Structure 1
Amino acid sequence: MALNFFDQFASPVLLSIPLIAIALAIPWILYPKPAPRWLNNRLLSLSCQFMIRTTSQLLSPLNTRGHKWALLFMSLMVYLMTLNMLGLLPYTFTPTTQLSFSMGLALPLWLGTVIIGMWNQPTESLGHLLPEGTPTLLIPVLIIIETISLFIRPLALGVRLTANLTAGHLLIQLIATAAFVLLPLMPAVAILTTVLLVLLTLLEVAVAMIQAYVFVLLLSLYLQENT
């Protein structure tokens, strides 16, 4: 029984063909396309307002050179948000619960921010490894600690996204299983468990949206240090 709880995180395969490619491509089909008219419909207008406000919030700490990442940040956030939300539907697969997928996004983007910092302002980027006013005896220790923390950043990005979504999916399945088991034995407790399941599902919807925003927000903070 315990092993079945983790079957939902296995990559689905049909006729020896992995279906993760379909799960990654479906969100692009669902996005509305801009209309050629002067006035858009309510859905497009609402999405445009959401994009504008979120972009201004993300890019407000960055200078002008960092604004070139606006399209990448917003595309990534909307894409991750859609993947997380679609993964909450029954009989679906969530690619962001795979650590390999999350690390495949986090590592190149983090490395891009580091390369930009080393290319444009190497002195300032290396200066982050040693805080100002550090005693002489602590300089080697702090440089080692800051270097380790720098290389841990992509791991923290990928693990944070995967762990939060995996934990939420496991809790939903555990509580749903408990509700089914308790229904013939204790109907009142089963109803309370179902109410808890609905509340947890709403919380997981919020987590799916927040984690996509946090992923992009941390990338923008890393970019801020290197621009």
Structure 2
Amino acid sequence: MALNLFDQFMSPTFLGIPLIVIATTFPWIMYPTPTNRWLNNRLITLQSWFINRFTQQLLLPLNPGGHKWALILTSLMIFLLSINLLGLLPYTFTPTTQLSLNMGLAVPFWLATVIIGMRSQPTAALGHLLPEGTPGPLIPVLIVIETISLFIRPLALGVRLTANLTAGHLLIQLIATAVATLMSTMTTVAALTAAVLFLLTLLEVAVAMIQAYVFVLLISLYLQENV
């Protein structure tokens, strides 16, 4: 039994190998690779349909210049979705509960959108720092506020994903501990608590999927402002 509820978020090692490395590389070998045949099996067909539909939905608000990001954004979505869902299985580790990993994903993508905006349309990119029609005395204040909000974006991306997954895992850990404790003394209450745990697990599955989508969607919105 863990002495600390937050011990489950420590990056474990086995034989000197950090398990976070295995957890981040395993999703890439899970999915079947499409063949060159005219007809594939049902799993590959369903997988291709989901990827195509998601890519179309993601690129819908983007200008044609942002369509170059289709492959990397779709790959990021599948990667986050896989490790979020795999982390809900017993005896596994969720890499996205680590703020360092999430910031390592958020900062480069955010910085790439800013650099693209400064390179392709610097006037429009800098214009986002000052809303049109701003009174003269408020211009310095608004520029400072908009600059701070611009640099907070990657922090918000990483913290949002970390906080949502960490909170869900903590709730599951707390309720599972309560079920194990009440099983021998109050069977009825333990059964009701187990039902709540099952519903919370379903909710956490939905949260894992939604947070992966929100992470990629926000990056696409930042990209939309700069292309």
Measured against the shorter chain, the TM-score band is over 0.9
Aligned-residue offset at 1:4:
2.3
Q: Which residue of 2 aligns with 1:6?
A: 6
CA distance in structure 2 between the partners assigned to 1:171 and 1:79 by the alignment: 24
Cα shift readout 1:19-71 (whole Å, capped 9, x = no counterpart): 21111111111011102321111111111111111111111111110000000
Specify every segment of 5 or more residues in structure 2 that has no aligned partner in the other structure, as ranges: none
| Aligned CA distance change for structure 1 residues 2 and 136 (closer, same or farther; 3 Å) | farther
CA distance in structure 2 between the partners assigned to 1:2 and 1:147 by the alignment: 43
Q: Which amino acid aligns with 2:67?
A: H
Aligned residues: 227
CA distance in structure 2 between the partners assigned to 1:188 and 1:132 by the alignment: 63
CA distance in structure 1 between the partners assigned to 2:148 and 2:54 by the alignment: 31
Aligned-residue offset at 1:101:
0.2
CA distance in structure 2 between the partners assigned to 1:49 and 1:210 by the alignment: 19
Q: Which moved more, 1:30-39 or 1:77-86?
A: 30-39
Q: Which residue of 2 aligns with 1:94?
A: 94
CA distance in structure 1 between the partners assigned to 2:172 and 2:84 by the alignment: 14
Structure 2 residue 184 is the aligned partner of structure 1 residue 184: yes
Following superposition of structure 1 onto structure 2, how do residues 68-83 of structure 1 map, counting pairs within 5 Å? 68-83=68-83
Aligned-residue offset at 1:2:
8.0
Q: Which residue of 2 aligns with 1:34?
A: 34
Q: Which residue of 1 aligns with 2:151?
A: 151
Normalising by structure 2, we get a TM-score of 0.97
Aligned-residue offset at 1:119:
0.2
CA distance in structure 2 between the partners assigned to 1:2 and 1:85 by the alignment: 22
Q: Which moved more, 1:1-10 or 1:71-80?
A: 1-10
CA distance in structure 1 between the partners assigned to 2:22 and 2:14 by the alignment: 11
CA distance in structure 2 between the partners assigned to 1:48 and 1:29 by the alignment: 16
CA distance in structure 1 between the partners assigned to 2:69 and 2:162 by the alignment: 24
Secondary structure (helix, strand or coil) at the match of 2:57 reads helix
Cα shift readout 1:60-108 (whole Å, capped 9, x = no counterpart): 1111100000000000000000000100000001100000000000000
Q: Which amino acid aligns with 1:80?
A: L
Q: Which residue of 1 aligns with 2:213?
A: 213
Following superposition of structure 1 onto structure 2, how do residues 23-172 of structure 1 map, counting pairs within 5 Å? 23-172=23-172
Secondary structure (helix, strand or coil) at the match of 2:185 reads coil
* Runs ≥4 residues deviating over 4 A: none
Q: Which residue of 1 aligns with 2:194?
A: 194
Q: Which amino acid aligns with 2:105?
A: L
Q: Which moved more, 1:35-44 or 1:133-142?
A: 35-44
Q: Which amino acid aligns with 1:127?
A: G
Aligned-residue offset at 1:198:
0.3
Seq. identity, %: 73
Cα shift readout 1:125-148 (whole Å, capped 9, x = no counterpart): 000000000000110010000000
Normalising by structure 1, we get a TM-score of 0.97
Q: Which amino acid aligns with 1:150?
A: L
Cα shift readout 1:194-226 (whole Å, capped 9, x = no counterpart): 000000000100111111100000000000000
